Homo-oligomer: A and B are copies of this chain.
Amino acid sequence: MCHVTVVKNIHRGDRLILVPSRNLHQHLGDLLKSMDGADVTFHVGGESFSAHRVVLAARSSVFRAELFGGMKEKAGGPIEISDMESDVFKALLHFIYTDEYEPVAEMTDGCEARREAVMAGHLLVAADRYNIEGLKVICEERMCNLINPDIVATSLALAEQHGFRSIKDACFEFLASPSNLEAMMASDGYEHLKNSCPSVLKELAASFLPAELKAAKDIIMTI
């Protein structure tokens, strides 16, 4: 999977240029930027994005069905994508062409960490929608690494709504600490979690009971 990169030194004038022997990612990234030969346009969150049907189809079975299969979009007009923000679609396209996930910003404070976790969550939903397994792996890992008292309620709600098991497990593990649990309940995201996914809070409460109290767990789950 991981290619060893051989580089060659080329002297051009007085400049020394390093040429990597493996640069598919860079070339496709350049193709996305240049839009040369682009043959499909998307409208997402008020912005337009041009892309190449064969690249999208090669990377996503959902795009393949939409662009080449029985669900083929009619040629010509732009494809409208609703309920997605433009910066999320931009990051999705970037990954499709380059295998790279670019963090939103340097994380200098908790506010940046929150933005980063929210972005990873939105991108995970987008990757799930278009069945881009590689990006899902990265976003899930990213979200698990970014769990903190401020974000955990939001992450848990997203995990529950979309069935992201590894993130739910990581949130439960984090909330096994009583101090983290208390901090989560004081966070902004708690109300949303309580309203949107009450069952997961019951499951969380039940997880604090020892295994032998199965009956008590059952009571919590059914109230």
Contacts and interface: CB of A to CB of B under 8 A. Distances in A.
Interface of A: 1-8, 19-25, 27-28, 30-31, 36-37, 39, 52-55, 57-59, 64, 67-68, 98-100, 133-138, 140-141, 166
A214 to B, nearest CB: 25
Contacts of A21: 99, 134-135, 137-138, 141
A146 to B, nearest CB: 15
Oligomer copy total: 2
Contacts of A28: 24, 58
A154 to B, nearest CB: 22
A24 B2 CA distance: 11
What is the interface of chain A mostly: helix, strand, loop, or mixed? helix
A163 B135 CA distance: 43
Contact of A54 (B19, B52, B138): B52
Contacts of A6: 137-138, 141
B99 A23 contact: yes
A28 B28 CA distance: 11
Contact of A23 (B39, B55, B64, B134): B134
